[in-house]
Every structure is written in C-alpha cells, then in structure tokens.
C-alpha cells in the first residue's frame, strides 16, 4: 500500500500507537508531521523517523484552536499541502464515578474529542480549498477504541470521549462525503504502549486483559499502524464512516476465555 509523497499529520505521534503509525507511513513513502505536546519525545521521534524518510515535529496541543491553526499553517508551509490527518492524541483519567473531578472530565474530553473536531475541521477546510482548485480529496482517521461501545466503570471520561469520537466519525464522514473526503476510525483493543505498561509487570492485570482477548495476546502498535496504512491508502477508496476494531476478538466475546501461561 503506497503513500508515496502523501503528506500526513499524526497527532500524539511522539510515542506509542501514533509513533508506530508515523513510522509505517514514512516507510510507505509519506512525509509525516508529528504533532504532540511532549517536545523531548517529539524531537526524538523526528530524529528517529528522519533516518527512514521525511518527518517534522511540530508542537501542538490539539485542544487549543490556535495551536491547531498553527499546525495546519506550518505543515502547508513545509510540505505545500496535506493529504491525511490521523487524530490519535489521547489521554486517560481513572477515577471512581462518585469521586471524578470536573476538571479531569473536561481535560479528557477536550483532548480526545474536541481536539479531533478542531483538527478535522481545520484540515477539512484545507482539503475543500484544494479540491476547489482541482486537487484530490484527502482523508481523516480517528483513533477510537473498543471503549466507544463497551465501558470501564472507572474510565468514564475516556469512554465518553471515545463514544463521541464514534459519532464524530459517522457525522463528519457524512458531511464531507459530497467532497469525496473519507473519514474512518480505528478501534484498538489492548495494545502494548505506555498506557498498558502494567501488563508486563502485573500478572493480575495480564490475566484480566487476556481473559477478555480471544487471540490470547496483547496487540502491537504496528498492528494498528497497518490498519491506518490501509485506511489512508487508495485501497480503501470506497470505505467511509466506518470503525475497524483491531481488538484480538474482544468485542464479539461474551464472558471470558482461558488465559495461556506467561512465558
């Protein structure tokens, strides 16, 4: 699947799933902009990816409209245009419902959901201008989660944000379809990143996750990146408004499955 010479913005790409998507896109020939708030990790990611191809780090808090405006302007300045947006930046805030702080609810929703809206709108405006000048439509990919449809009782803002992202995907896909712009989402299950670091060190956490994972293992960031590469490519030219759940079989599962012994 070629992304030769495509320009992609990936938010939250300084590490984890976002970095894996950025790396895959660079290997597939894209020029990649890493948008993140962690400058040290972002600059390191830029250096790592420059060894493979074309990449630039731009500081951007996706929850801030002016940061997003600057991200789009700087990307166009550097690469002339934008073809792909991956709304991947995401945070969690664990708390029992009765103790949940309003600021934590607002923070998670503003990054995970409003941030995706702000980036999508800013980039879609560029896409439409380009189409009106005779250019080709771009596409948007939202990093959702299985928590868009199932829940964790002490991760309420996170689950609400991902549920909202599901409808943001559906509605923006409909709104942008007349322009030929495709909008899809990926719903990862449990993927081995810092968000899930406890699984390596805590057998109880490992058992909990694997008992709900029919493929009997945690996923790798590269396995999410390959879904993103498909959705971003022309191979997915008739796919819009969809969420692909890459979750090792969790969503269809009722009850639990046996857990294999640890290595």
**Interface positions with ligand NAD (CB under 6 A):** 11-12, 14-18, 36-38, 41, 60-63, 88-91, 111, 143, 145, 188, 190-191, 193-196
C-beta of 41 vs 95, nearer to ligand NAD: 41
Q: Is residue 179 within 8 Å of residue 123, measured between CB atoms?
A: no
Q: Across 95-232, where does the E strand assignment appear?
A: 139-143, 182-188
Cα–Cα dist 185/166, whole Å: 7
Cα–Cα dist 57/59, whole Å: 7
Cα–Cα dist 48/23, whole Å: 9
- In the complex, the smallest distance separating the C-beta of residue 144 from ligand NAD, rounded to whole angstroms, is 7
Cα–Cα dist 97/118, whole Å: 28
C-beta of 138 vs 188, nearer to ligand NAD: 188
- In the complex, the smallest distance separating the C-beta of residue 214 from ligand NAD, rounded to whole angstroms, is 16
Cα–Cα dist 80/206, whole Å: 46
- In the complex, the smallest distance separating the C-beta of residue 180 from ligand NAD, rounded to whole angstroms, is 26
Contacts with 40 (C-beta within 8 Å, 6 or more apart), sequence order: none
Residues annotated catalytic, as ranges: 158
Q: Is residue 164 within 8 Å of residue 113, measured between CB atoms?
A: yes
C-beta of 118 vs 130, nearer to ligand NAD: 118
- In the complex, the smallest distance separating the C-beta of residue 47 from ligand NAD, rounded to whole angstroms, is 15
C-beta of 190 vs 240, nearer to ligand NAD: 190
Number of other residues whose CB lies within 10 A of the CB of residue 162: 27
């Amino acid at each position: 699947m070629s992304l030769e010479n495509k320009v992609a913005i990936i938010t939250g790409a300084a590490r984890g799933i976002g970095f894996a998507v950025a790396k895959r896109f660079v290997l597939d020939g894209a020029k990649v902009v890493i948008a993140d708030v962690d400058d040290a990790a972002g600059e390191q990611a830029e250096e790592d990816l420059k060894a493979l191809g074309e990449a630039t780090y731009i500081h951007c808090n996706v929850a801030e409209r002016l940061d997003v405006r600057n991200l789009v302007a700087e990307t166009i300045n550097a690469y002339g245009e934008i073809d792909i947006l991956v709304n991947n930046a995401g945070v969690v805030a664990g708390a029992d419902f009765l103790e949940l702080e309003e600021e934590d609810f607002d923070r998670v929703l503003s990054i995970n959901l409003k941030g995706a809206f702000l980036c999508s709108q800013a980039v879609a405006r560029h896409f439409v201008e380009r189409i009106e000048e005779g250019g080709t439509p771009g596409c948007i990919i939202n990093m959702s989660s299985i928590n868009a449809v199932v829940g964790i009782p002490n991760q309420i803002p996170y689950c609400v944000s991902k549920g909202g992202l599901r409808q943001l995907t559906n509605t923006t896909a409909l709104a942008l379809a007349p322009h030929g712009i495709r909008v899809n989402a990926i719903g990862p299950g449990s993927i081995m990143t810092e968000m899930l670091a406890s699984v390596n060190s805590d057998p109880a956490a490992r058992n909990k996750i694997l008992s709900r994972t029919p493929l009997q293992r945690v996923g790798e960031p590269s396995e999410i990146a390959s879904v993103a590469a498909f959705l971003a490519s022309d191979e997915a030219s008739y796919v819009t408004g969809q969420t692909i759940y890459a979750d090792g079989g969790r969503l269809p599962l009722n009850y639990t499955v046996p857990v294999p012994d640890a290595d």
